[in-house]
């Protein structure tokens, strides 16, 4: 990289904050802007508001140095060469993406422009957003030669976002001018040249031992579609394997064996073929809905995505009924719950199947003791305050004296629990595993009655209650 770029990042959520510290890690000067003064104050102290591997280290390394946190978007606009918009695009009641935050930020940027700027969509946005941002610029009096708008979608998984950013499968830049392409090539040059991976203290990841990340240059519309289509396809894989798991369960096959056989096909791959209680998080639910809405607006029927959503909803209901079948009745039953985040490695509870299920069990009169390594504080803010709900200090406390233990999030540490200790502290040794973390044969050896997803029910021989096949 010939010169250090000054980059503005608007938004300090998952995408914005990770992007800010990673651009600083690549050697750029970064100004991260957010309207939330309390969040900015915390970030200036080097305190990350989200749970993400490597984020605390990078924030400590670059805070108040290469990364500056501010609420002054006008000042950041005037000092930056490129401005990345990374604000939220939540799902509206109609099912489409709510673009009001993007609209407001683009308008404010436009009113502050006095020299050439590249405005980059980093948020997940529907196709044609690039054109709308350009219209906003022009309507606010910005001369056409003083700006370009580009699309640079993120492909970050919560829990591994920093590694995903610095060791990407691909870098997509949607550009409609050579000027915009030159700026984005310079932004990512430390990755595409491999220089970043040679420096001391680089975040480790797969690119250390393999080829350099490819930079894919497309039109802005293609880049916008790539992001929505990628998330919709991954959600489809999850719903597909969940339907297959239901077939496996009905015939007595093991979905883990079936998934391994399917994923071994190089055309399919193993990723996102893990049966469970459904997908959640801030991306898949809203992006599937938004992509379907875009198709409908273009007069294209995308019924496949409607089925993906339907399967995801039904998967939670199936798990709920599985627990009911194991316990017969709910009222007064004590449930130990392991996991509240939508996936392991993050504290994000947005659209979490675990949170939905906890609400369902509470409504049925269950008494719940829940534990999550990272998400309990956020869960307390959304779950109803109740004498029937408590939060445990660890997994064993959650399981103590429970009628059944439910695994709702795939935290790796849950798979390492002491099974002998677990069997002794449960009131009844019943484990209902919504993430298939355990080996059914091993669970039976330890005396558990074990129910997973897409697996035949495994009852210990001393548990006469499971000698009968219940509907």
Query: Of 22, 63, 283, 366, which is the active-site residue?
Result: 283
Q: What pLDDT, on a 0 to 100 scale, did the predictor assign at position 256? A: 96
Question: What residues form DSSP beta bridges with 213?
Answer: none
Helix (H, G, I), strand (E, B) or coil at 88: coil
Please tell me what DSSP assigns to residue 169.
S
Please answer whether residues 23 and 96 qualify as being in contact, where contact means their C-beta atoms are separated by less than 8 angstroms: no
CA distance 122 to 10: 9
pLDDT band of residue 209 (cuts 50, 70, 90) is low
Q: What pLDDT, on a 0 to 100 scale, did the predictor assign at position 458? A: 59
- For 69, list phi and psi in degrees, rounded to 5: -110, 135
283 part of the active site: yes
Please tell me what DSSP assigns to residue 97.
B
Q: What pLDDT, on a 0 to 100 scale, did the predictor assign at position 96? A: 79
CATH of domain 6-218: 3.40.50.720
* 200, 207, 351, 449 from 194: Cα distances, Å: 13, 9, 37, 51
Nearest C-alpha neighbor of 379 from the set 405, 347, 353: 347
Please answer whether residues 216 and 191 qualify as being in contact, where contact means their C-beta atoms are separated by less than 8 angstroms: no
CA distance 36 to 44: 12
User: What average pLDDT does the chain have?
Assistant: 93
| Residue 392 pLDDT greater than 50, yes or no | yes
pLDDT band of residue 468 (cuts 50, 70, 90) is very low
| Tokens 């074990």 found at | 450
Q: What pLDDT, on a 0 to 100 scale, did the predictor assign at position 56? A: 96
Please answer whether residues 171 and 213 qualify as being in contact, where contact means their C-beta atoms are separated by less than 8 angstroms: yes
Q: Strand 389-391 and strand 367-371: pairing?
A: parallel
* Average confidence (pLDDT) over 18-37: 97
Q: Which residue has the higher pLDDT, 154 or 458?
A: 154
| Tokens 């990407």 found at | 168
Q: What is the pLDDT of residues 238-276, one digit of tens each?
A: 999 999 999 999 999 999 999 999 999 999 999 999 999
| Residue 470 pLDDT greater than 60, yes or no | no
The reply to whether 6-218 and 230-471 are identical in fold is yes
Q: Which residue has the higher pLDDT, 244 or 93?
A: 244
Burial readout 32-54 (b: 16 or more C-beta within 10 A, e: otherwise): bbbbeeebbeebeeeebbbbbeb
Please answer whether residues 127 and 224 qualify as being in contact, where contact means their C-beta atoms are separated by less than 8 angstroms: yes
Q: What pLDDT, on a 0 to 100 scale, did the predictor assign at position 2? A: 53
Hey, where are the domains in the chain? Answer: 6-218, 230-471
- Tell me the whole-structure pTM to 2 decimals: 0.90
Task: Looking at the structure, give the CATH architecture of the domain made up of residues 230-471.
Answer: 3-Layer(aba) Sandwich (3.40)
């Amino acid at each position: 990289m010939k010169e250090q770029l000054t980059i503005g990042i608007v938004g300090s959520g998952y995408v914005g904050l990770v992007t800010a510290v990673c651009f600083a890690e690549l050697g750029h000067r970064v100004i991260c802007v957010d309207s939330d003064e309390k969040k900015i104050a915390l970030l200036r102290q080097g305190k990350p508001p989200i749970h993400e591997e490597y984020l605390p280290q990078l924030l400590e390394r670059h805070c108040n140095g290469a990364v500056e946190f501010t609420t002054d978007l006008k000042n950041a606009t005037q000092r930056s060469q490129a401005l990345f918009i990374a604000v939220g695009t939540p799902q509206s009641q109609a099912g489409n993406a709510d673009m009001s935050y993007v609209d407001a930020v683009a308008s404010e940027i436009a009113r502050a422009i006095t020299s050439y700027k590249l405005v980059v969509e980093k948020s997940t946005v529907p196709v044609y957003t690039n054109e709308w941002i350009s219209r906003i610029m022009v309507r606010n009096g910005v001369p056409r030669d003083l700006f370009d708008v580009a699309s640079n979608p993120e492909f970050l998984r919560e829990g591994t976002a920093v590694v995903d950013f610095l060791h990407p499968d691909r870098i997509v830049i949607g550009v409609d001018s050579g000027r915009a392409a030159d700026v984005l090539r310079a932004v990512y040059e430390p990755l595409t040249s491999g220089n970043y991976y040679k420096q001391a203290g680089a975040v480790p990841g797969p690119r250390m031992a393999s080829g350099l990340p490819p930079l894919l240059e497309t039109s802005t519309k293609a880049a916008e579609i790539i992001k929505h289509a990628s998330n919709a396809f991954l959600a489809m894989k999850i719903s597909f394997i969940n339907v297959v798991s239901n077939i496996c369960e009905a015939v007595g096959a093991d979905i883990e064996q079936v998934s391994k056989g399917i994923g071994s096909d190089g055309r399919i791959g193993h990723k996102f073929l893990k049966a469970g209680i459904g997908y959640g998080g801030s991306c898949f639910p809203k992006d599937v809905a938004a992509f379907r809405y875009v198709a409908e607006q273009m007069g294209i029927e995308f019924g496949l995505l409607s089925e993906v959503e339907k399967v995801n909803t039904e998967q939670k209901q199936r798990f709920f009924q599985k627990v009911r079948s194991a316990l017969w009745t709910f009222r007064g039953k004590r449930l130990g719950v392991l996991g509240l985040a939508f996936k392991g490695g993050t504290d994000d509870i947005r659209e979490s199947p675990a949170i939905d299920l906890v609400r369902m069990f509470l409504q049925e009169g269950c008494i719940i003791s829940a534990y999550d390594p990272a998400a309990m504080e956020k869960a307390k803010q959304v779950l109803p305050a109740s004498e029937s709900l408590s939060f445990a200090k660890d997994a064993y406390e959650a399981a103590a004296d429970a009628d059944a233990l439910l695994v709702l999030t795939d935290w790796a540490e849950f798979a390492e629990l002491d099974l002998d200790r677990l069997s002794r502290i449960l009131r009844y040794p019943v484990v209902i595993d919504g993430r298939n973390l355990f080996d059914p044969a091993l669970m039976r050896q330890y005396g558990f009655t074990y129910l997973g997803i897409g697996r035949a029910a495994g009852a210990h021989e001393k548990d006469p209650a499971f000698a009968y096949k219940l509907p």
